[in-house]
Chain A
Amino acid sequence: MTARAVRFSLRWAALLLGAVVLSALVTLGSAALWGTNSRENFMANYLVAFPLLAEFLFLISGASMAMPMLPLMVAMGCTRRAAWAGMQIVTWLCWAVLLAVSLGMFRAGQAFGMEAFFPDGVVFNGLFLALAGQLALPAGLLEGRLGRGLVAACGSVVMLGGLILGGLWKWGMLPTAVYTAAQVVCAVAVVVLFAASRRLAMRLAPKNA
């Protein structure tokens, strides 16, 4: 049953991942062909901003796509446990792909000699990406656009906040202890949201799915 849920969820995630990978390739191709001077090549800017955009895309699209898919799976006779597990597997798979793409883009930017406004800490970035993914699932399970929008907006704020913290730390404006504490908070939030989404999934009732 979980395998079926993975297959079903993957179908929707593949659209998102395809879009992310394609835009990464276009950006890199543009940098290779026309250089990385952002004044001459508009796309070069994306080398810097890409990881943030990818994560944002993941959060918003994940929330809107996940929303009815889990109730639909349950309405079709899938167990909640399997549906939730399937979506989690796909969420973490997306996380791995996006992290790899983000890291690749970041390294490519560095190789091209660009100063990236992006924290060096891969762990920190990865944590925020995981947090975005975990926010997408409960956001998707909430009924009503307002609830989903609020959770997705919270995710965006958290993500931007994380990036700003990373930047401040990189420029020496934030003590390492505070930066480390932010990472711990982020990790705890991932675990809490992981548990919360499971709890929510076990309680949901498909209404007119």
Chain B
Amino acid sequence: MNGKQHPELRAEGLRLRYGKNEVLHGIDLTLRPGCIYGLVGRNGAGKTTLLSCLTGQLAVSEGAVTCGGQPVWENPAALANLCFSREIGTTLGGGPNNMKVRDYLEAAALFLPHWDKEYAARLVARFGLDERKKICKLSKGMLSMVTIVIALASRAPITILDEPVAGLDVVAREDFYKLLLEDYAETGRTFVISTHIIEEAASVFEEVILLDEGRILEMGETDELVGQFAAVTGAEEAVDAVCAGHRVLTCERLGRQKQCVVRLPGGPGALRAGGEVDVEPLTLQKVFVTLCGHEEKGGGAA
């Protein structure tokens, strides 16, 4: 497989309403083939809802979702290119939760047309999953491992993982990202990963989508996006002088010093930094907190 043969997933004017409550507000999105996307947003931002709409698991109220130019909704040809490996709940009684891991994987093999049985078996062995165990008996980490096995072994051209590392220990998380990159290098397929553990995943994401209150706040190449932000720290007057004329997002006082986060579309070089202030780049997590931490916003904008 190679990235150029994979389809593009596109959403246009996507809106979703539950009664009068609109949870997705006109989302336009194009996921190009052969790219690893990170989807980040606060709890309740609409990440899982958006992913459900993109994969035809939730009917949209307005707008269209297409994969390779074909509508996704109730279209087997388009759905064959997609795998949405969602979190497995343990609280619901009966059903899949009473299924054994083996049966769950067999169901995946039945419905996912690109399923790689040997790869799935290798992953199960690598994670030390007991296939005879029932889903409801698995720990949170083990449940995440099952969703990872399904996502990776699906070999779907567009593979979407919702909170794949929830409950995984740091070693397992490292292992997951390693596996993901190995698979990506081999197949070049598109991955979309929704996560709250941003710092660890930042280096894996080629592009990042910041979702906030049902809207896409930012979308673009991770390095380019992060490179637009800088933290300016120093004496208050000096910081104000350096930040003057730039878009200041947040300000806070650190003892006798002041720190402001500024957005510089041209990069930190646009600042007239003198020796009296420190200008430091932000991490993706800091960028996320700056843009989505509403309560901290606007406190000291210059």
Shortest CB distance A117–B (Å): 32
Q: Is A64 close to B, CB under 8 A?
A: yes
User: Which residues of the other chain, B, contact A207 by a CB distance below 8 angstroms?
Assistant: 89
Q: Which of A76, A79, A203, A209 contacts B112 (CB 8 A)?
A: A76
Q: Which of B77-132 contact A (CB under 8 A)?
A: 79-80, 82-84, 86-89, 92-97, 107-108, 110-112
Q: Is B197 close to A, CB under 8 A?
A: no
Shortest CB distance B164–A (Å): 14
Shortest CB distance B12–A (Å): 21
Beta-carbon contact of B89 and A205 below 8 Å: no
Shortest CB distance A141–B (Å): 11
Which single residue of chain A is at the shortest CB-CB distance from B79? A77
Shortest CB distance A24–B (Å): 26
User: Which residues of the other chain, B, contact A7 by a CB distance below 8 angstroms?
Assistant: 110
Q: Would you give the 0/1 interface string for A1-40, flagging 1 where the beta carbon is closer than 8 Å to chain B?
A: 1001001100000000000000000000000000000000
Q: Is B228 close to A, CB under 8 A?
A: no
User: Which residues of the other chain, A, contact B58 by a CB distance below 8 angstroms?
Assistant: 205
User: Which residues of the other chain, A, contact B86 by a CB distance below 8 angstroms?
Assistant: 75, 206, 208-209
Beta-carbon contact of B92 and A208 below 8 Å: yes
Q: Is A82 close to B, CB under 8 A?
A: yes
> Which of A67, A68, A81, A208 gathers most chain B CB within 10 Å?
A208
User: Which residues of the other chain, B, contact A205 by a CB distance below 8 angstroms?
Assistant: 52, 57-58
User: Which residues of the other chain, B, contact A8 by a CB distance below 8 angstroms?
Assistant: 107, 110-111
User: Which residues of the other chain, B, contact A78 by a CB distance below 8 angstroms?
Assistant: 79, 111
Beta-carbon contact of A80 and B74 below 8 Å: yes
Beta-carbon contact of B96 and A209 below 8 Å: yes
Which single residue of chain A is at the shortest CB-CB distance from B89? A208
Q: Is A101 close to B, CB under 8 A?
A: no
Judged by DSSP, the binding face of B is loop
Q: Which of A80, A82, A145, A208 contacts B88 (CB 8 A)?
A: A208
Q: Is A72 close to B, CB under 8 A?
A: yes
**Alpha-carbon separation in the docked complex, A82 to B84 (Å):** 18
| Contact A68 to B108, CB < 8 A, known contacts A79-B79, A81-B74 | no
> Which of A8, A205, A209 gathers most chain B CB within 10 Å?
A209
User: Which residues of the other chain, B, contact A65 by a CB distance below 8 angstroms?
Assistant: 94-95
Q: Is B181 close to A, CB under 8 A?
A: no
**Alpha-carbon separation in the docked complex, A89 to B111 (Å):** 18
**Alpha-carbon separation in the docked complex, A67 to B52 (Å):** 20
Beta-carbon contact of B57 and A75 below 8 Å: yes
**Alpha-carbon separation in the docked complex, A91 to B87 (Å):** 29
Beta-carbon contact of A79 and B108 below 8 Å: no
Shortest CB distance B5–A (Å): 19
Q: Is A69 close to B, CB under 8 A?
A: yes
Q: Is A73 close to B, CB under 8 A?
A: yes
**Alpha-carbon separation in the docked complex, A65 to B103 (Å):** 14
Shortest CB distance A5–B (Å): 8
Q: Which of A68, A81, A145, A202 contacts B97 (CB 8 A)?
A: A68
Shortest CB distance B66–A (Å): 16
Shortest CB distance B246–A (Å): 44
**Alpha-carbon separation in the docked complex, A77 to B94 (Å):** 21
User: Which residues of the other chain, B, contact A73 by a CB distance below 8 angstroms?
Assistant: 107, 111
User: Which residues of the other chain, A, contact B244 by a CB distance below 8 angstroms?
Assistant: none
Q: Is A74 close to B, CB under 8 A?
A: yes
Q: Which of B56, B74, B93, B95 contacts A72 (CB 8 A)?
A: B95
User: Which residues of the other chain, B, contact A68 by a CB distance below 8 angstroms?
Assistant: 92, 94-97
Q: Which of A74, A145, A208 contacts B93 (CB 8 A)?
A: A145
**Alpha-carbon separation in the docked complex, A5 to B222 (Å):** 40
Which single residue of chain A is at the shortest CB-CB distance from B53? A205
User: Which residues of the other chain, B, contact A77 by a CB distance below 8 angstroms?
Assistant: 55, 79-80, 82-84, 111-112
28 residue pairs bridging A and B, Cβ less than 8 Å apart? A4-B111, A8-B107, A8-B110, A65-B95, A68-B92, A68-B94, A68-B96, A69-B95, A69-B96, A72-B107, A75-B57, A75-B84, A75-B86, A76-B107, A76-B108, A76-B111, A76-B112, A77-B55, A77-B79, A77-B112, A78-B111, A79-B75, A80-B74, A203-B59, A205-B58, A208-B86, A208-B87, A209-B88
Told that A1-B76, A65-B95, A205-B52 touch, could you supply 16 new A-B pairs with CB distance under 8 A?
A: A4-B111, A8-B110, A8-B111, A67-B94, A68-B96, A68-B97, A76-B111, A77-B55, A77-B84, A79-B75, A205-B58, A206-B57, A206-B86, A208-B87, A208-B89, A209-B89
